[in-house]
Structure 1
Amino acid sequence: MYAPERQQAILGHARSVGRVDVNMLAEQFDVTPETIRRDLNELERRGLVRRVHGGAIPVERFGLELPVAQRTSRNAEHKERIAKAALDELPDSGSIIIDAGTTTVRLAEMLPADRQFTVVTHALPIAAMLAERPNITLLLVGGQVRQGTLAAVGGWSQAGYRSVLADVAFAGTNGISRNRGLTTPDLAEAAVKQSLIASARRTIVLADHSKVGHDEFAHVADLSEVDTLITDSEVDANMAREIHDAGVEVVQA
């Protein structure tokens, strides 16, 4: 096995169980502990794990956000299917809010060209993508731009959303569970998400299976504020059932 393949396998195992041990990995991959340490150092250099005594922990366990470019490549096929399923939730024409996020970017890419939409967003990548679309009236909500998400946050952003009422909000999230609802690592991001959810008649959450049953630091909204969750076919059945039983329609793409 080549080093990149081994490192990818180590990262997958770390995300699955929450922590990896150097000696255990050395035995599993039949390599020396020094080789595993080099692998973990490389994963840490790329911002994917944090080294701890005897092993490593994936950055997600610390409530840290990966850079946009790294998050875009994770579960890319699932995000593609989720975004395609979300097209069924679009109004025939009208106004939509598109939240910041790597799955919501895919939705923005797929917006049909034969219908007129007013799109409200605080996400710079989405705004740049839609700015020249002739069938799109784009409203860009401003504020301080966070480097980690390339999204505007702060009082200006919240005020911007409070001034509109859209037909549908397509929201992203870092975590969704029965007990905590929608969560995200950053308080400023959470506040903007709260505002955009309150500014739409319906809220559709787009989240791949890795987000379902997962809780982050900052609370965004209870499940009572969500109409539909669109996730992928690998979602844990029990977790999906819990969310459905809380009154949320669950669509598996």
Structure 2
Amino acid sequence: MGVADRLDLTLRLVQGAADRVSVAELSQRLGVSEMTVRRDLDALERQDLVRRVHGGAVATKAREEGAGFVAREPWQAATKDRLGARVAAMVEPGSRVLLDAGTTTVHVAEHLAARGPLTVAVLSLQAAVCLADRPGIDLLIVGGRSRPGERSLVGPLALRTLESLAFDCFIMSIGGVHAEHGWSEFSLDDAAVKQAGLAQATRTVAVADATKLGVRAFSQVAPLGVVDGFVTDTGAEDGETHPNGPYTLKALREAGVPVHLA
């Protein structure tokens, strides 16, 4: 496991704990020395993502759904970059793509830049910056209101724009994926935009890291079976790190959704 991936997993373990996580426990779970764990915790503390306490660490930030884009951007960056590469590889050159907002889809945008020629409509100001002036990318910025703290484009103007367009592929990020309650989001505005994207695309690929599995967010977007593929990280299969992961993956497959692990 590389350093970036190990930091990602360390952060997940600390954030997922009800209370303090000990250095000894992290050492055992990660298969590295306690000295390595201490160095990793020091690195995460410098980013204000964990707080060191005697013998271990506690999370310093709210769960990801309660933090804005800037706070979430460095979290699990290595994992999200793998997801971005896997999703981009599923997009055929020449396609018309709708790219959702979110920290993971910014990584998708980075990898889409090498898949041109593509027409890419973005729902994210950050993705727009990433794709601007890239050779082979015909960039469209969907109109709308920029949701404060999120850099996502939402509201009636965004919905009207989407309703006037047709896409070969919608790359949908998601706040929660639940075996019984399907795909869901924490914001009504984001959920409405995703529903419009689903309606206007021939094919939808959903992407989320394993922390979203088993989560039921505030606003339901759609049932599980409406998407044509789901990309997540291999941690989803680890029931110890993600207790809801294996069960949710099983429900996705039973709903006919191909699952791709990165």
TM bucket, shorter chain: 0.7 to 0.9
Distance 1:48 1:202, change over 3 A: farther
Question: Which structure 1 segments of 5+ residues have no match?
Answer: 1-7, 29-42, 50-54
SS at match of 2:89: helix
Supply the AA of the counterpart residue of 1:162.
E
**CA deviations over 1:72-108 (Å, ceiling 9, x no partner):** 2212121111111112210231200100011111111
Alignment of 1:216 onto 2:225:
no
Match of 2:118 in 1: 117
Identity among equivalent positions (%) equals 30
Supply the AA of the counterpart residue of 2:101.
A
Number of equivalent positions: 222
Partners in 2 of 1:157 and 1:48 — Cα distance? 36
1:4-19 alignment, distance < 5 Å: 12=12, 15-17=15-17, 19=18
Partners in 2 of 1:113 and 1:217 — Cα distance? 35
Question: Is contact 2:100–2:124 with CA below 8 Å preserved after alignment?
Answer: yes
2:63 to 60, 65, 69: 60
1:62-101 alignment, distance < 5 Å: 64=66, 66-101=67-102
Alignment of 1:162 onto 2:163:
yes
SS at match of 1:248: coil
Question: Is contact 1:118–1:136 with CA below 8 Å preserved after alignment?
Answer: yes
TM-score normalised over the length of structure 1: 0.77
Task: Find the structure with the greater CA-based Rg.
Answer: 1
Supply the AA of the counterpart residue of 1:219.
Q
Match of 2:195 in 1: 194
Supply the AA of the counterpart residue of 1:89.
M
Partners in 2 of 1:194 and 1:225 — Cα distance? 11
Question: Is contact 2:142–2:158 with CA below 8 Å preserved after alignment?
Answer: yes
Partners in 1 of 2:253 and 2:75 — Cα distance? 25
For residue 184 of structure 1, report the CA deviation from its aligned partner. 1.4
Backbone CA RMSD of aligned residues: 3.1
Distance 1:163 1:82, change over 3 A: same
Supply the AA of the counterpart residue of 2:137.
I
For residue 178 of structure 1, report the CA deviation from its aligned partner. 1.6
2:252 to 232, 243, 247: 243
Question: Which structure 2 segments of 5+ residues have no match?
Answer: 1-7, 26-44, 52-57, 238-245
TM-score normalised over the length of structure 2: 0.74
